[in-house]
Amino acid sequence: MSIESMLEKLSLGDESSLVDKVKADGVEKSGLSSSIDALAAKCASKTEDDAIAGLAAAKALAEGAPGAEAFTKECLTACLEQASSKNAAIRKAAGETALAICTNISPFAMKSLLPQLFAQLPVEKKWQTRTLALQCIGTFNKTAPKQLGNALPEVVPELTACMWDTKKQVKQASTAAMKSAMEVIGNKDIEHMTDKILTAITKPKEVPEIMHEMAGVTFVQSVESPALAMVVPLLLRGLREKATATKRQSAVIIDNMSKLVDNPIDAAPFLPLLLPALETNASSIADPEAREVTERAVSQLQRLKGLADKQMSVRGDTSKLTEEFKKGLAIDDVSPALEMAIAHASVIATCMMDLGFMEDMQWTKNVSAVFKDFVDPAKADEVVEAVRVEAEKMLVIPEEDDDDDDAEELCNCQFTLAYGTKILLHNTKMKLKRGKRYGLLGGNDSGKTTLMRSIANNQVEGFPDVTEVRTVFVEADIQGEQSHLSCVDYVFADEKIQALNIDKEEVVRVLATVGFTEDGKAKPFHAVSTLSGGWRMKLALARAMLQKADILLLDEPTNHLDVINVAWVKNYLNSLTDVTSIIVSHDSGLLNDCCTNILQIENLKLHAFKGNLDEFVKIKPQARAYFSFTESKMKFRFPQPGPIEGVKSKGKALMKMSKCTFTYPVNKTPTLFDISVQVSLSSRVACVGENGAGKSTMIKLLVGEIEPQTGDVWKHPNARIAYVAQHAFHHIESHLTKTPNEYIRWRYANQGEDKESLVKVTMQFTPEEEKLQKTPFEIQFTGDDGKVKKIKKVVSELVGGRKTNKSKEYEYEVKYSGSTIDSGEYLPAKTLKKMGWEKAMKAVDLKIAQRAGLYVRPLSTKNVEKHLEDCGLDREFGTHYRMSALSGGQKVKVVLAAAMWNQPHILILDEPTNYLDREALGALAGAIEEFDGGVVMITHNNEFCSKLCPETWVMDAGHLETKGDADWMLKQDTKIEDQQQITEVTDAAGNVSKVKGQKKKLSKKEEKQLMKKIKNKLKNGEDLDTDEEEFAFEKDLL
3-state secondary structure 276-305: HHHHHHHHHCCCHHHHHHHHHHHHHHHHHH
pLDDT surpasses 80 at 248? yes
Please state whether beta strands 422-433 and 551-555 pair in parallel, antiparallel, or not at all (unpaired).
unpaired
For the segment 32-57, what is each residue's pLDDT rounded down to a tens digit? 888 899 999 999 999 999 999 999 99
Angstrom distance (rounded) from CA 622 to CA 294: 21
User: DSSP states of 693-717 as a string?
Assistant: SSHHHHHHHHHTSS--SEEEEEE-T
| Mean pLDDT rounded to a whole number for the chain | 80
For the segment 809-848, what is each residue's pLDDT rounded down to a tens digit? 778 877 777 666 655 677 777 788 778 877 778 777 777 6
For 794, the 3-state DSSP assignment is coil
For the segment 194-231, what is each residue's pLDDT rounded down to a tens digit? 888 888 888 888 888 888 887 777 777 778 888 888 88
In this prediction, residue 943 has a pLDDT band, given cuts at 50, 70 and 90, of low
Helix axes 336-355, 145-163, angle to 10 degrees: 100
For the segment 558-586, what is each residue's pLDDT rounded down to a tens digit? 765 656 777 888 888 888 888 899 998 86
Angstrom distance (rounded) from CA 448 to CA 1021: 76
In this predicted structure, what is the pLDDT of residue 625? 57
Cα–Cα nearest to 78, from 54, 105, 109: 54
In this predicted structure, what is the pLDDT of residue 542? 85
Cα 374 to the center of its chain, rounded Å: 58
In this prediction, residue 974 has a pLDDT band, given cuts at 50, 70 and 90, of very low
pLDDT surpasses 60 at 399? no
In this predicted structure, what is the pLDDT of residue 760? 47
Amino acid at 745: R
In this predicted structure, what is the pLDDT of residue 131? 95
Least confident of 158-172, 324-338, 612-626, 649-663: 612-626
DSSP 992: E
In this predicted structure, what is the pLDDT of residue 386? 92
Do residues 933 and 956 lie in contact, with contact meaning Cβ atoms separated by under 8 Å?
no
Rg of the chain over Cα atoms, rounded to whole angstroms, equals: 40
Compute the average pLDDT of residues 123-147: 93
For the segment 159-173, what is each residue's pLDDT rounded down to a tens digit? 988 988 889 999 999
Residues facing residue 432 across a β-bridge = 411
Do residues 509 and 483 lie in contact, with contact meaning Cβ atoms separated by under 8 Å?
no
In this predicted structure, what is the pLDDT of residue 823? 57
pLDDT surpasses 70 at 656? yes
Q: What proportions of the chain, in percent to the nearest 5, are helix, strand and coil? A: 50, 15, 35
**277, HSE (Cβ side, Cα atoms, 13 Å):** 20
Q: Which residues fall within 8 angstroms of residue 83, CB to CB, at 6 or more apart? A: 91, 94, 95, 98, 126, 128, 129, 131, 132
In this prediction, residue 418 has a pLDDT band, given cuts at 50, 70 and 90, of confident
Distances (CA, A) of 754 to 502, 638, 745, 763, 861: 57, 18, 10, 15, 17
In this predicted structure, what is the pLDDT of residue 996? 47
For 937, the 3-state DSSP assignment is strand
Compute the average pLDDT of residues 132-157: 92
Angstrom distance (rounded) from CA 907 to CA 162: 60
Angstrom distance (rounded) from CA 655 to CA 907: 12
Least confident of 101-105, 120-124, 516-520: 516-520
Angstrom distance (rounded) from CA 875 to CA 970: 41
Distances (CA, A) of 659 to 44, 306, 560, 673, 963: 101, 73, 42, 8, 18
For the segment 526-556, what is each residue's pLDDT rounded down to a tens digit? 877 666 556 777 888 888 888 888 888 888 7
pLDDT surpasses 60 at 972? no
In this predicted structure, what is the pLDDT of residue 73? 93
Amino acid at 422: K
pLDDT surpasses 90 at 636? no
Q: Which of 1-10, 374-383, 991-1000 has the highest mean pLDDT?
A: 374-383
Task: Provide the percentage of residues in the chain whose pLDDT is more than 90.
Answer: 17
In this predicted structure, what is the pLDDT of residue 534? 61
Q: Which of 101-110, 272-281, 352-361, 640-649 has the highest mean pLDDT?
A: 101-110
Least confident of 15-19, 923-927, 999-1003: 999-1003
Angstrom distance (rounded) from CA 912 to CA 904: 17
In this predicted structure, what is the pLDDT of residue 984? 43
Least confident of 759-763, 979-983, 1018-1022: 979-983
In this prediction, residue 524 has a pLDDT band, given cuts at 50, 70 and 90, of confident
User: DSSP states of 172-199 as a string?
Assistant: HHHHHHHHHHHTT---HHHHTTHHHHHH
User: Which strand (E) or helix (H) includes residue 453?
Assistant: helix 448-456
pLDDT surpasses 90 at 724? no
User: DSSP states of 2-69 as a string?
Assistant: -HHHHHHT--TT-HHHHHHHHHHHHHHHSSHHHHHHHHHHHHT-SSHHHHHHHHHHHHHHHHH-GGGH
> Dmax of the chain from CA atoms?
134
Determine the length of the chain.
1038
In this predicted structure, what is the pLDDT of residue 730? 64
In this prediction, residue 502 has a pLDDT band, given cuts at 50, 70 and 90, of confident
Task: Provide the percentage of residues in the chain whose pLDDT is more than 70.
Answer: 83
Distances (CA, A) of 751 to 822, 850, 858, 962, 982: 20, 9, 10, 40, 19
Cα 971 to the center of its chain, rounded Å: 46
pLDDT surpasses 60 at 517? yes
User: Which strand (E) or helix (H) includes residue 414?
Assistant: strand 409-419
Distances (CA, A) of 523 to 479, 515, 609, 916: 19, 9, 41, 32
Please state whether beta strands 605-610 and 597-602 pair in parallel, antiparallel, or not at all (unpaired).
antiparallel
In this prediction, residue 134 has a pLDDT band, given cuts at 50, 70 and 90, of very high
